[in-house]
């Protein structure tokens, strides 16, 4: 799994950091309660079963190893969209946005 980010997603992470939040981490979930959407947290303990798959706006992106291995040839692109009614513990929701993912299979 490879990760890319749109300039807009990078900007949102930098905006959150500018509010004084430290030790930012983006987490790609396992599809349970919050699906696999990316969420931005601060001082988040990712656990021993995760791996860093990239960075967005300077923040590491963590995903559980088993998920990363499901998509060895894909590139995941983190993007952002307006979500004025966002209700989440994730830090981006305070800005009225949420992160989204796009998968694309790389072609040789």
Residue 68 belongs to domain spanning: 2-105
Q: Considering the chain, what is the average pLDDT of its residues?
A: 86
| pLDDT-derived band at 30, boundaries 50, 70, 90 | low
Number of structural domains found in the chain: 1
Buried residues in 54-64 as b, exposed as e (16+ CB within 10 A): bebbebbbbbb
CATH classification of the domain holding 94 = 2.60.300
Q: What phi and psi values does residue 62 have, to the nearest 5 degrees? A: -110, 145
Which pTM was predicted? Answer: 0.86
In this predicted structure, the answer to whether residue 31 has a pLDDT above a threshold of 70 is no
- CA dist 5 and 27 (Å) reads 14
In this predicted structure, the answer to whether residue 60 has a pLDDT above a threshold of 80 is yes
26 vs 2, 39, 51, 106, 107, CA distance in Å?
14, 5, 12, 23, 27
DSSP β-ladder status, 50-56 and 74-82: unpaired
């Amino acid at each position: 799994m490879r990760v890319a980010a749109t300039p807009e997603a990078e900007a949102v992470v930098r905006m959150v950091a500018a509010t004084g939040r430290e030790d930012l981490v983006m987490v790609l979930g396992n599809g349970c309660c919050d699906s696999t959407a990316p969420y931005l947290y601060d001082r988040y303990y990712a656990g021993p079963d995760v791996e860093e798959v990239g960075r967005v706006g300077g923040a590491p992106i963590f995903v559980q190893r088993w998920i990363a291995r499901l998509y060895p040839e894909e590139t995941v692109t983190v993007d952002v969209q307006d979500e004025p009614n966002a209700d989440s513990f994730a830090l981006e929701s305070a800005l009225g946005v949420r992160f989204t993912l796009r998968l694309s299979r790389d072609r040789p």
